[in-house]
A and B are shown apart, each in its own frame.
Chain A
Amino acid sequence: MVVGSLRLWKAIPERATSLETARRPRFSLSLLLQALAIVLLTSALASPFLRTLLPAKREITVVVDTSARLQARGDRGGTRFEEGMRLLLREASRLTERDSVTLLWDEGGVHSATITGAELPSALKGISPIESRVNLDLFLSARDRESELWLLSDQLPPDKEALFFPATGPVSNTGIDLLSLDSGELFVRLIRTGGASDLTLEILVEGVSSRTIPLRVKEGRNSWQGSLEVSESHLVEVRILEEDSFPLDNRAWLNRGLVDSGVRYFGREHALLLRVLQSIPGVVLGGVGYTVVYREARPFSNPAIYVDPPEAPKGFQFGSEFSPKRWHSDDHPLLENVRMEEMGASSAKPVTGGVPFLFADGVCVGAVLGRTIVLGFDLPSSGWCTTPSFPIFWTNVFEFVRTSNVWNTIRAGVPIRGEDVVFQEVGERTFRGRTVGVSLLDSHESVLRRAPTLVPSKSSSGDMSAGQKPLSVYASVIALCLIILSWWSDRSGR
């Protein structure tokens, strides 16, 4: 009998039954079904089979790792990829037309092909590595678990039964994995494998060498930072002059002014401010580019506008609060068309540091340093925030900090932010009529390791002797049906 809730019934203790009732065994269909299911599952584990007259065909999933780092030099002079492919082709030549192969690889998008074993060698010859990272887990999780797995990679497959074709080679490599240029400061991060080394960094501005820097790099992460004059240029390249086993990560580029700025918002919610930010043309709330921090202490490495923060950001200092009466500015672009008589706040803090642009009672309450702006007063929900000057000021802020001064990197295989464009190859390309640099910039691809050796067991890879039909699957399916029947039997109370 179905009831609304068992809550009250469960609180009532079960009455002890009479001895006679307890002694008499009750037939339970559910118990019988469960017992049959256990017997079948146990049988399935023993891998029963029927002898057949026809030889069993092989079902194989071949996953080819086309990650950029497999272009690194292999042990025998070619690339790592060529090393692994040589071994894979040798094994593939043993397959026949009866064998069924699912081939999975990434070539700037996921590709798959279902072919016969005889077609595999020619299909493999058309595959080559790409110049970005491949998510191998995607292929390994998508494959048919019943099939044999063959993997060409420098990383081990998830199970020991797989046939592994190692793409291996020397590990000595230095790669550039991060670049940034802001307010005339260039930051370069390098990742090194294969022990400490000496190298030379060259910086080129619009293709012309600007400076060279000798560096000693240790195993792991290293960095270099320095000033760079780039006033009228749009392309900066950083390259490692010394050749190593993987040249693709030895060059990286910064490009000026590619994308519109996004804005990230942190701190307390201010409904009017959020509404204005959402309405500024070309600005995407939630995108990456500029940061607005409202009444929160938050250290940032990127420039931001801080509105009434509890502590002064780096490069600024606050004085004692006062009640501002009269506001004025010195004709700064941030305050163009902003009417001073519409400005107002109940209290303000003097701001020192940076370039002052807004004053109250003769005291600086708004200053800018590079692309970091600090306002030393709150935004009341009435007053200034409801006047036309408020959206005008914020439009000015984004004009002031916008794209013409932003340097971005473009990574191979990754869409350009805000655009529907993906460059698949590293190097200099044309985008919107100008030259841009496309970089690898991926520490995952710059860290080279030796591929381990994996020896599968004799009973691995699902080899079945010709003429045997496996019954494990059937036994397992029947057991599952019995379990479902048992559950249904319990539910219906029979």
Chain B
Amino acid sequence: MAILEVLMPLFVGAPILVGGALLAVPRHHRIRQVFGMGSLIAMLVGAMLLVAATADGTVLAHQVALWPGGIAIPFVADTFSSLVLTVTAILATVCFQYMIASGEARSPSIASLVLILAGGVAGALLTADLFNLFVFIEVMLLPSYGLLVILSRRGEMGGARLYVTVNLLASTLFLAGVGLIYAVQGTVNLAELAGAGDDPATAVATAVCLSAIAVKAAVFPVHGWLARTYTATSPAVTALFSGLHTKVAIYIIYRIYSVVFEGEATWLIIILVITSLSMVVGVMGAMGESTMRSVLVFHMVSQIGYILIGVGLFTQLGLTAGIFYLLHHMIVKASLFLSTGAIEQTYGTGQLDQLGGLRTREPLITVAFAVAALSLAGLPPFSGFVAKFSLILASIEAGAVAVGVVAVVVSLFTLLSMLKIWASVFNGKRSADVERYAAEGRVRERENLLDDEHVDERIVADEAALAIEHNEPPRGATTTEDDPHGHRGTRIPFALALPSLILAAITVSLGLGAEFLLGLSAQAAAGLLDTAAYVSAVLGR
């Protein structure tokens, strides 16, 4: 496996280099899409190789330029980081596929930005040095700012400005924490900091870092920015960010707490209280929202609470369940964002009260949404059931029965808010204006208008009439069903539905074959409980 170790920096370097090179071909969107997709798939294959190499608990480490351990820039992959890297690569590939299908990837810089983002994420997952972690977080944030604005159809910049401001503030705070850790310990290498959390000064300095990362993970009470920024951009970008940004932050919380504090039991109660509040506040927020995406974004806050229960319990079963939950959640959430995103982009609106009756009209999207929504709520046989069940078992085993009860109750509300989307978007009566909204969306996209700019009503009416005239009803359309246009008109193209279907298929297979991923998660959890292998690999001795 020596060759894999040496190639580890390529997970960061290759996407960034390819991304930079693709900026040189602004006129050839096909070349950009092919190379972008190729790089992401190569990254996915590489990440799977890493999982295969670390599945038995081996820790791969590479000291860049072969400097001695402690001085060199270390790249480390253990089971945990390989697993998260694999899922991020899957998400980046699928989201990029969606961007190609929706035509967003035609914009000159999108492929490059996605690749650089993927490179930064890989760096943040593989580094074992806190300062490099800061750098890689910035590497993944800078292209995100671009993606957020370029693919946004919003006229106002409030969401984008808020996103940059919050992230910059959190990064600055994190940097201050890194400086404080260096002041106390004289090193920022994670392996050399192993167990340093016993020292009060180091514990406080690390807590500054963890608080900054908590902002990025959108944990209660610093979750407020999430719902206002993630809804301000294209659905594909929301899906990408939901899988990558907040989840990398969660990975970092798991990693730092296990290495620096070695799972110190004194502070666990703080984490458990925060996670329980996150679960409740997030799901309550979701219940009150009125667009598909804002419901889902508030759910993220709630689900992030679930994931962090794992680190709050810090038992073998708890960490296993938390890691399984993290991986499951990344896939399911992206699937939901992509299926509702396909609806939003095709039908021109994400408002719950402007949509309806898609159940018979869009069978593929309906299946994708239903599977992912039930999985999110934690029903068998999907991966969400395994994740939630093991998490609740772990809480009860660790004596945190209250947390388990909160998790069960919040699940019911999760199901309720998923039913809210189901009832108004998939069930119910089709709105008489459905073609007008869809046509307006297409006209805005064609004429490059923002959401608050004036559109000529006549052009929209013509576009709607054209769509009704040209798009035949599908063969299986039930004529008895009430439809304002006799089943004619706009439909979601298969290519746009495919990404969410792929992810929905993954959650089904993870649910039925949970044994496989649970085994890997248990190995990852063991690596967090006993960090000796990690530390000796990073230090190279």
- A, B from the same assembly: no
Residues on B lying within 8 angstroms of A by beta carbon are none
